[in-house]
Structure 1
Amino acid sequence: MKVKNVMVRIKSLEDVFEEAKDVMKRLEKGEKVKKHEGISFENLDVMRKVLTEERLRILKTIKKEHPSSIYELAKILRRDMKNTFDDVQYLAQVGFIEIKKTKEGREKATPIVNYDKILLEIPV
């Protein structure tokens, strides 16, 4: 089984803009541009605010237990439903979780983690 990873990078806003400008120039010239997948943060403090211990526990639980809904996830975690919902929505917005909506009678939002590892890249 192939291990899937999500890459987390620390990049300044200037670096992001420079990379975007470089990509635009290469596209204008008709060159192929390699797709970069992953999530970037401006600095470690921002990343730490997003990937708290509790949110990492949510990611691990989704990966291991495969809950069919956010409600089920909250029950497994023994957490308040609203706080779990808010964290799941935030992690989905950032790109760490995919939410699959299903309609089996009542609409469900199934949280999905489709990778095995989070790799951190920090330039020095």
Structure 2
Amino acid sequence: MIKIKLIKEKNGAKLIKEFQEMYGSIEALERAFKRDPENVKLYMDLTDWEYFQNHPKEQIKETEIIYAEKSNIDMLELELMGLIKNEHPKSISELAKIANKDISSVQKKIKNLNENGLIKIKEGNKNSKIPIVNYDKIEIAI
């Protein structure tokens, strides 16, 4: 079994911005928590928001762990993940152009990466699929 750790690094100011996009304001989050005091996510988000208002430069590491029976990730897929992270393509066809690869091979690789949890696919305009890498570092333990 292979353990893959996806690590996203950000600071408190970025986390607060994410909270603002999600809840609107800290007051709105407080109201939501008062309506549902058993909701652990609301409680954790509220306490994090309050803390990071006073510590906006503090670094945060979020991790997600994926377990795989075997690694079937190849060098092209690693290259594609780097291009997605750095170039932010708006579609898989744009990614294929950036990588200078055939669209059908890139689509297969993207499907594999998505199925393995290493990238996310977001719906774009005109049925396009936007590949997204939401982390900064990968650690693999074998």
Corresponding residue for 1:39? Answer: 66
Corresponding residue for 1:6? Answer: 6
1:77 to 95, 99, 107: 99
The Cα offsets for residues 80-107 of structure 1, whole Å up to 9 and x where unpaired, read as 00000010011001100100002x3x21
In percent, how many aligned pairs have the same letter? 37
Structure showing greater Rg: 2
Shift of 1:40: 1.3
Aligned to 2:128, the other structure's residue is in SS state: strand
Shift of 1:41: 2.4
Corresponding residue for 1:113? Answer: 133
Q: Judging by fraction of residues, say which structure has more helix.
A: 2
**Where in structure 2 are there 5+ consecutive unaligned residues?**
8-62
2:110 to 88, 97, 101: 88
**TM-score w.r.t. length of structure 1:** 0.62
Corresponding residue for 1:12? Answer: none
Q: What is the number of residues matched between the two proteins?
A: 83
Shift of 1:108: 1.1
Q: Distance in 2 between matches of 1:37 and 1:63?
A: 17
**Where in structure 1 are there 5+ consecutive unaligned residues?**
8-35
The Cα offsets for residues 28-70 of structure 1, whole Å up to 9 and x where unpaired, read as xxxxxxxx9311123xxx21xx221111000000000000000
Q: Distance in 1 between matches of 2:81 and 2:132?
A: 9
Q: Distance in 1 between matches of 2:64 and 2:90?
A: 27
Corresponding residue for 1:55? Answer: 77
Letter in 1 for 2:123: K
2:120 to 98, 113, 121: 98
Q: Distance in 2 between matches of 1:72 and 1:52?
A: 20
Aligned to 2:84, the other structure's residue is in SS state: helix
